A and B are shown apart, each in its own frame.
Chain A
Amino acid sequence: MNRRRLLVLCLAGLGTVLAWAPASALAHGLVGRQDLPIPKWLFGWAAAAVLVASFVALAVLWPKPRLEQAPERRVAGVPRFLEPLLGAIGLAFFGLVVYAGFAGSQTTTNNLAPTAIFVLLWVGIPIASLFFGDVFKAFNPWRAAARAVAWLAAKVSRGGLPAPMPYPVRLGRWPAAIGILAFAWIELVYSGRGDPSNLAVLALAYMAVQFVGMSLYGIEPWNRYGDAFGVYFGLIARMSPLRWTRTALFVRKPLRGLTNLDIVPGTVALVILIIGTTSFDGFSGGPAWGTIGPDLTSLFGELGLGPGSALELAFTLGLVVVVLIVGGMYRLGVIGMGTIDPQGASTQELAARFAHTLVPIGLAYVVAHYFSLLAYEGQRMAYLVSDPLGTGANIFGTHNATVDYTWVSATTIWYVQVAALVIGHVAGLVLAHERALVSFDGDSQLATRSQYWMLVVMIAFTSLGLWLLSAANA
């Protein structure tokens, strides 16, 4: 065994001991409602130790690129009827959600629309995309509707339809980034978010915007760059070991899909928004915002705004500031990387080159912050599928199902949150190391050196995530 490997093993062993020693020493000390054996801040230290150990392990045990050129393998064919069938199911479900929003009970928990949008779509689909690939693309209702209309129009016009315009390069993923920001604003700020009819109107408005985009620039280019949900879930699906095409299913190494992400304008903003808006969700539930928020609201109230508008403006300001802080953290890390980079790449170039490393962190933040929402509120789907309008119907016989808040404990949720954050950040480190190796022609020493600052960024995001979670759960 050479000395470097021995050093890695020693460091890994030390990290493990450091992570577990306090646990055994303080095992009797129960903290908070979550029944934790060690204080929450110590999880932050242990997570940082795991990141440092992973960084060292990557430097020694991953000397050559392994992901970027890794081949994928075709494992099965996909019947041609599957895509239109799944699209029709997605479109029908979208129709049901919108109809429920308008015609159903306007009580949030009795209507299918809020749970389907904020739990199933926003939290369930990203997690499903990680394991099963781009499932949203298959069920995407506006894509399915547009494809059906395009097929019909081509039949009627006998191929006489004008070709769509080429998608402008400068637009990049900006439309998707704006869409994600708008959705986050509705979810976190908008006071009418719990009103099913408002959600139905917004869903139809979003669909209309997608139709305009697809008719101008073509269905696939718009779905690839402009559709906020299509782009966001598509990014997450790139981490999946499964890749679907219309005719086949391929298997690849996890994370492989992210290594060939095309970096166009708006990509960095999109991933920063995913992390930043989720961070604000955690921050707004903690004691710090509990102090700042009311002060800001009363300040805006004194300036002449009504109570509702003042509250929304305070939350909007908080959302923007947290997103800017998260963006600033990444920017600082990239500037630091630039001071080491021997190729002299610009900050802009480096930020784009390593943008894909933030995608696992974005998912980690989503899982960490919303896992409890999925675990508890997701159970509402059991009775909502039987009674989507909240009118007392019992279509599948599950009308009397209730939410069981005991099936997963607060302690388990905390461990899931910590695990998600640590795994997400280690995945980010792996991607950054791989990209550095490719950038420096396989020179692992140079690649490792260039990633010191990325390690700091990862530790910063992990610490922030755990602080937000601990504050929100306090």
Chain B
Amino acid sequence: MIVLIAHVGHWAINLLYVAPLVVAVGVLGYQARKDRRGGARGEPAVRHPPSEPPPA
């Protein structure tokens, strides 16, 4: 543990490269959750393509 903390500067900088990905996945997850809640309330989550009429 001490070694890990002592060298935190070496590996922590690598985590900064992952930050944009974590943010993007977080936003996507939030949006998906919001969509699911909207779906549960009966709001259409997506519009259907013109060639494919929504199911009755």
Contacts and interface: CB of A to CB of B under 8 A. Distances in A.
B18 interface: yes
B14 A342 contact: no
Contact of B49 (A47, A49, A443, A463): A443
A456 B25 contact: yes
A3 B8 CA distance: 46
Interface in A320-375: 336, 339-340, 342-343
Contacts of A342: 46, 48-49
Contact of B18 (A442, A449, A463): A463
A48 B50 contact: no
B38 to A, nearest CB: 13
B10 to A, nearest CB: 8
Contacts of A466: 17
A455 B13 CA distance: 24
B24 A48 contact: yes
A62 B20 CA distance: 25
A41 B16 contact: yes
Interface string B35-55: 000000000001111111000
Interface in A428-463: 440-443, 445-446, 449, 452-453, 455-456, 459-460, 463
Contacts of B50: 441-443
B21 A446 contact: no
B4 to A, nearest CB: 14
B24 A455 contact: yes
A48 B20 contact: yes
Contacts of B31: 452
B6 interface: no
Nearest to A48: B20
Contacts of A190: none
B24 A456 contact: yes
Nearest to A43: B17
B49 A441 contact: yes
B47 A459 contact: no
A339 B33 CA distance: 12
Contacts of A442: 50
B19 interface: yes
Contacts of A467: 14, 17
Contacts of B21: 48, 456, 459-460, 463
Nearest to A462: B20
A455 B48 CA distance: 22
A49 B23 CA distance: 11
Contacts of B51: 441
Contact of A456 (B13, B17, B28, B52): B28
B33 to A, nearest CB: 12
Residue from the set B13, B17, B28, B32 with the largest chain A CB neighbour count within 10 Å: B17
Contacts of A336: 28
Interface of B: 13-14, 16-21, 23-25, 28, 31-32, 46-52
Interface of A: 41, 44-45, 47-49, 52, 336, 339-340, 342-343, 440-443, 445-446, 449, 452-453, 455-456, 459-460, 463-464, 466-467, 470-471
30 contacts: A41-B13, A41-B16, A41-B17, A44-B17, A45-B16, A45-B19, A45-B20, A47-B20, A48-B20, A48-B23, A48-B24, A49-B20, A339-B32, A340-B46, A342-B48, A440-B49, A441-B49, A442-B50, A443-B47, A445-B47, A446-B48, A452-B31, A456-B25, A459-B20, A459-B24, A463-B17, A467-B14, A467-B17, A470-B17, A471-B14
Given A48-B24, A342-B48, A443-B49, 8 more contacts: A45-B19, A49-B20, A52-B24, A446-B47, A446-B49, A460-B21, A463-B20, A471-B14
Q: What are the 6 tightest A-B residue pairs by CB atom distance, in nearest-first order?
A: A48-B20, A41-B16, A467-B17, A441-B49, A440-B49, A443-B49
